Amino acid sequence: MVAENRLAFASYDCENGIQQTKRNEMRRKLLIGGIVIALVGASLFVMALLRHPHFEKWLSPPQAKLPEDPEIESMQAIIYKTVGLEQIDEFDVPPELIPRILYWFRQSKHLGYSPVPSDLLGKLKIKTKEGEIRTFTFYDFGANPIVFTENNVDFYRGGRTVEPTNIEGVKPCGGLGYCGIVVVGRAIKDAHSKSTQTMKE
């Protein structure tokens, strides 16, 4: 009788061990499956992230494609009425003053986000010697260089904060930096004054 009980217990332990082994194997497979699914999901997420336009631009910022001064045939400018500036309707910029205006747009860096639409300051319409028409919209960006765009998708901030040596200097704006609205607005205003004077002559 005792021998039979021992045999029964041994058989039970063996069966229980087999079941436990099966359960452990199932858990191991589920764990591995979960890890594989998580890795695949993470890989897909990373791939989607890398292909996202904003991430691509963060890794490799686009460059503003402003025509070089010798490539420009003509330029028109507009200033919208804003704080500190009166509205200036579209006019032809005297050729010798085109470099002075564009000076503040050069050496620019990709901004990564859009400025507030209400800060719209004006537009530049450039015609190259090859006949291409390029329109750049620019915005007031506070005590910082001017912000501009050509396609309303990529925005750039001008990289210059010091007047060229052959032009009268501009004092810092509020001690924080050079206001794009000041230097660009003044350059366009001066160009408009000269254009108006030339027309009168």
Model confidence band, residue 26 (pLDDT cutoffs 50, 70, 90)? confident
State the Cα angle at 102 between 100 and 103, rounded to 5°: 65
- In this structure, are residues 104 and 144 in contact, taking their beta carbons and an 8 Å threshold? no
- Judge contact between 78 and 89, C-beta under 8 A: yes
- Sequence-distant (6+) residues with CB within 8 A of 40 are none
Give the type of residue at 133: I
Q: How many CB atoms lie within 10 A of CB 57?
A: 14
Q: What is the mean pLDDT of residues 18-23?
A: 68
Tell me if the domain spanning 69-200 has CATH number 3.30.1490.
yes
What are the domain boundaries of the chain?
2-51, 69-200
pTM of the model: 0.64
Q: Please give the pLDDT value at position 169.
A: 43
Residue 122 has pLDDT above 70, yes or no: yes
Distance CA 23, CA 18 (A): 9
> What does the alpha-carbon distance between residue 127 and residue 134 come to, in Å, rounded to a whole number?
6
Q: What is the pLDDT of residue 36?
A: 76
Percent of the chain with pLDDT strictly greater than 90: 25
Contact 188, 94 (CB under 8 A): no
The mean pLDDT value for 54-77 works out to 80
Instruction: Report the pLDDT averaged over residues 1-10.
Output: 49
